[in-house]
Chain A
Amino acid sequence: MIPHDERHLAQLEELLVQSDEPETDFEGSPLSECLECREHLESNLSLMDELDLVGRDEQASLAEIEETELRAADQDLHRASRLFSEISAAPPLTLQDYRRERPRRVVAASLVLVPGALVLVLLWTVLFPTHRDPLLGVNPPGFTPAGHADSFARFSWPDTAPKGGWYVLQVFDGTKPGHSAPLTERMRLEESSWTPPPESEHWPRRLRWRLEILDGSSADSTLAWFNIVTTLD
């Protein structure tokens, strides 16, 4: 046996990358005399087997599910799909629906008040011009950076997750539309702050970040979420 050396892991990685038969090639290399390297390789191989097992089970299950028909006794499960169908397909209220659901006098009052409010807003805009972005002023308190910020060096928020809960943080390009891919995301933060990586220097000057609070009972235990808009001054 030889003692473990700092360079061994790099050598082992090189061996694995270059080899088509890692186990055989490892046995023929001097690293096979290092106990720590052997353990490292064996735990890698063991994890590869586990991943393979999960993957094969997933593929076999998906193939089997494709062939699975619901039996008569299982037809209740279809109700779930029907319910989902109704919820997801529910269209936004039309003016006719609105009229059915609201007293006519409310609609009549709105017809007067809404244009009036629009005129006031227009007048205000003309009399007191401003270049401030309205979204920057509506962020909840305690969230940093929010609104006009000096830097994006550190993100923090009120520590409101319950015991065992965590936060999911996503940072988006604030100049792009809502469903664009995030610049970065952290799927599990247990602290109420986060320091971005150095590449954040290249982020755009306007960001939108989304914080989700989970209670920890499952991956879908969202308690609340917040969207924050911020821009560098």
Chain B
Amino acid sequence: MSQRPSEPPSLEADRERCQQDLDLVQRALLRQPEALGGLVERLQCVPRILLYKNRQLGAPLSGHELEDLAQETLLAIWKKLDRFEGRSRLETWVYRFCFLELMARLRHLNRQPTFVSDVEPLTDGRSARPPDPFRFETIYRGLEKLDAGSASILKMKHFEGLTFDQIAERLGVSSNTVKTRYYRALPKLRALLQTPAGSRSEEKSS
């Protein structure tokens, strides 16, 4: 499986694609037929994401359950589409949405997934913890609760693989400002991850 691309796409091109996605969503929300067609086509990724993640988690959901989930997820996405702000590509936003819906369904059905990530933890001794999908979910939900500015920097750094200099360029601030915000965001996120409401992984692992 491919890992993070060594050369992220140029910031300008990336920003332009995000803006195009935002434009598509806004026009679809106005029910412009052409945009709706484009959106429906782009949202074909929803069943594929759910199928892939379900397989990756050891197929805890059956085909019928997955079909139901795909329908409900698509409707949920449609309902919350006005929250898409173009901070990422549409597929990336949808991916996080699908993952959280899948994990919520697994918790609801009390199914225990077996995580089979192809991404190995870093082997520097700090990440002894094996990948745990409920921990992943906790982190995503923690990022949702974090203030938008802090969450955005953490996502750019870790999810998009940008350097501090690249983030600084994108935000139009100095690299040191980005680093300061980044190092202040980490303890805030850590505190959110320790709150009971977001600690399903701790419940599961205990």
Contacts and interface: CB of A to CB of B under 8 A. Distances in A.
Interface residues of A, number: 56
Interface in B103-131: 104, 108, 117-119, 121-122, 124, 126-127, 129, 131
Interface string B185-206: 0110110010001000000000
Q: Size band of the B side of the interface?
A: 35 or more
A52 B154 contact: no
A86 to B, nearest CB: 9
Given A54-B158, A85-B40, A217-B108, A70 B91 contact: no
Interface stretch (A61-69, A103-111, A150-158): A61-69
Given A46-B127, A56-B4, A13 B184 contact: yes
A91 B144 CA distance: 33
A127 interface: no
B18 interface: no
Contacts of A85: 40
A46 B127 CA distance: 7
Nearest to A188: B145
Interface string B127-162: 101010001100111001100000000110111110
Contacts, number: 186
B183 A17 contact: yes
B126 A42 contact: yes
A131 interface: no
Contacts of A44: 183, 186-187, 190
Contact of A79 (B1, B56, B67): B67
Contacts of A188: 145, 197
Nearest to B36: A89
Contact of A16 (B64, B124, B179): B179
B75 A84 contact: yes
Contact of B78 (A52, A74, A88): A88
A77 B50 contact: yes
Contacts of A65: 45, 48-49, 52, 91, 95
A219 interface: yes
